[in-house]
């Protein structure tokens, strides 16, 4: 994603107006979406003929799919590329079902946030295109999270990125940022297909492509623009999955049964604690806890980070009850340790009598990392640092002759790792 226009960012920070959602110039070319997916009834009076139909919008949907269909608001896109993606999806029905199942944890929340803003609810399918609903997804372009923000875009949308946390992976924070951005580029472009292209390619690039076509007397719709292959595939892929969600039986795909109820709630937290301790208090596997709280880079949730915990509804009460019962007991089983002298992580681990793998994992270090003197490590609370602080033994005297070559080989270069700033710069998206 390219850097967002300053005027666009200013407007976004001042607050975007809500969207009406559907556009009146819908192409309505896809028979798969032309049929209503909700109850309709005629307003005809006896002896009269009327073409007006009304929708029963007061009726609650039993699952998220019915709710999503009721909020579809984007014009349909017709192109051979849409047909190609549709064929690819329908050729692997179980894979589609599995990916949508992965979205179970997030779909209710995303749809709710879209409805608050009056935005088309099919945008809740965009993380399928972006990350396959994997909040830990990380691209070669360094985009991260469900919505695949690159570092610079994350900063523009105030997503913290530091040694402790990466809010591009935070389910609640990144969803809010993504919908803010989508809303802003829609207001800039006035067209959802171009807004989505902007989200993928950058709004500056899309504006240049539109202006180029306009100056050449060519159409400026999505299908008429010259754009990178990834962007040209991006919107058609979303259209194809939307068609499947609209009529799964037509394409032989079974949607997972996801009820129209919240999967998670947020729980206030005002102190630091281990991820493992938090998961234990919530009575849930650590892997499940991390799927809802994937922003943390370390095994500790820092007390300075003010984000709430995200927990399944049934586990939130358990967490609060167990936390109250845990009073007086430690919530953090890690401490910091300043490396007194430079050395490889294996050497430091040996002095601390700890596993090198444990220290690497906790501190995000490369296998052969060399630490500079003064580097601060996260180490287990029970690690004994007294021996590690002892001075290194004096080297033994050399007794054999050392051959000095005329052209000695260059010294191996090894980067010393320096301690990143722990309180973060305040964090923009991809391309």
User: What pLDDT score does 391 carry?
Assistant: 52
Question: Is 80 exceeded by the pLDDT of residue 65?
Answer: yes
Q: What pLDDT score was predicted for residue 12?
A: 52
Q: Is the dihedral of CA 347, 353, 356, 360 positive or negative?
A: negative
Tens digits of residue pLDDT in 168-205: 999 999 999 999 999 999 999 999 999 999 999 999 99
- Check whether 208 has a pLDDT greater than 60: yes
Does the annotation mark 288 as catalytic?
Answer: no
Q: What b/e string do you get for 376-407 counting C-beta neighbours within 10 Å, with b at 16 or more?
A: bbbbbeebeeeebeeeeeeeeeeeeeeeeeee
Burial classification of residue 7, based on how many CB atoms lie within 10 Å of its CB (0-12 exposed, 13-18 middle, 19 or more buried)? exposed
- The percentage of the chain sitting over the pLDDT mark of 90, rounded to a whole number, equals 71
Q: How many CA atoms lie within 13 A of 319 on its CB side?
A: 26
Q: Model's pTM, two decimal places?
A: 0.78
State the Cα–Cα distance between residues 343 and 337, nearest whole angstrom.
Answer: 14
> In CATH, what number does 6-37+58-251 get?
1.10.530.10
CATH fold of the domain at 333-387: Membrane-bound Lytic Murein Transglycosylase D; Chain A (3.10.350)
Q: Which tens digits make up the pLDDT trace of 370-404?
A: 999 999 999 999 998 885 555 544 444 333 332 22
| Rounded-to-integer distance, Cα 111 and Cα 86, Å | 23
Tens digit of each residue's pLDDT (9 = 90 or more) over 101-130: 999 999 999 999 999 999 999 999 999 999
Domain extent listing, the chain: 6-37+58-251, 264-325, 333-387
Close Cβ partners of 91 (under 8 Å, ≥ 6 residues apart): none
Give the pLDDT confidence score for residue 114 in this predicted structure: 98
Q: Which residue matches tokens 């586990």? A: 315
Average pLDDT, the chain: 82
> Which of the 8 DSSP states describes residue 338?
E
**pLDDT of amino acid 355:** 94
Q: Which of 130, 230, 283, 347 is catalytic?
A: 130
- How does residue 7 score in pLDDT terms, banded at 50, 70 and 90? low
Instruction: Identify the residue with better confidence: 299 or 415.
Output: 299
């Amino acid at each position: 994603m390219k850097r967002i226009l300053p005027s666009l960012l200013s407007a976004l920070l001042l607050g975007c107006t809500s969207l009406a959602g559907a556009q009146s110039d819908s192409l309505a070319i896809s028979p798969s979406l032309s049929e209503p997916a909700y109850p309709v009834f005629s307003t005809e009076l006896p002896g009269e003929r009327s073409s007006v139909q009304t929708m029963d919008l007061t009726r609650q949907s039993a699952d998220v799919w019915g709710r999503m269909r009721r909020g579809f608001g984007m014009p349909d896109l017709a192109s051979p590329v849409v047909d190609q993606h549709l064929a690819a999806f329908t050729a692997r029905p179980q894979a589609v079902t599995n990916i949508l199942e992965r979205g179970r944890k997030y779909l209710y929340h995303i749809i709710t946030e879209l409805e608050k803003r009056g935005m088309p609810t099919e945008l809740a399918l965009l993380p399928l295109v972006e990350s396959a609903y994997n909040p830990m997804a990380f691209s070669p372009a360094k985009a991260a999270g469900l919505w695949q923000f690159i570092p610079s875009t994350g900063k523009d949308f105030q997503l913290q990125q530091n040694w402790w946390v990466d809010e591009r992976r935070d389910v609640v924070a990144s969803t809010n940022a993504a919908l803010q951005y989508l809303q802003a580029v829609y207001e800039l472009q006035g067209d959802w297909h171009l807004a989505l292209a902007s989200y993928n390619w950058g709004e500056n690039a899309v504006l240049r492509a539109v202006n180029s076509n306009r100056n050449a007397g060519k159409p400026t719709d999505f299908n008429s623009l010259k754009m990178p292959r990834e962007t040209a595939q991006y919107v058609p892929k979303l259209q194809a999955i939307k068609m499947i969600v609209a009529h799964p039986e037509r394409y032989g795909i079974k949607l997972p049964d996801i009820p129209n109820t919240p999967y998670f709630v947020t729980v206030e937290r005002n102190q630091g604690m281990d991820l493992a301790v938090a998961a234990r208090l919530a009575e849930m596997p650590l892997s499940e806890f991390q799927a809802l709280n994937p922003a943390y880079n370390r095994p500790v949730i820092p007390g300075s980070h003010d984000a709430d915990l995200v927990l399944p509804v049934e586990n939130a009460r358990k967490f609060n009850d167990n936390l109250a019962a845990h009073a007086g007991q430690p919530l953090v089983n890690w401490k910091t340790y300043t490396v007194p002298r430079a050395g490889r992580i294996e050497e430091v681990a040996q002095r601390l009598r700890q596993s090198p793998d444990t220290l690497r994992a906790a501190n995000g270090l490369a296998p052969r990392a060399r630490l500079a003197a003064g580097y601060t490590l996260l180490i287990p609370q029970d690690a004994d640092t007294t021996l590690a602080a002892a001075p290194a033994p004096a080297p033994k005297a050399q007794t054999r002759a050392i051959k000095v070559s005329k052209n000695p080989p260059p010294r191996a270069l090894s980067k010393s790792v320096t301690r990143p700033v722990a309180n973060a710069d305040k964090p923009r998206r991809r391309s």
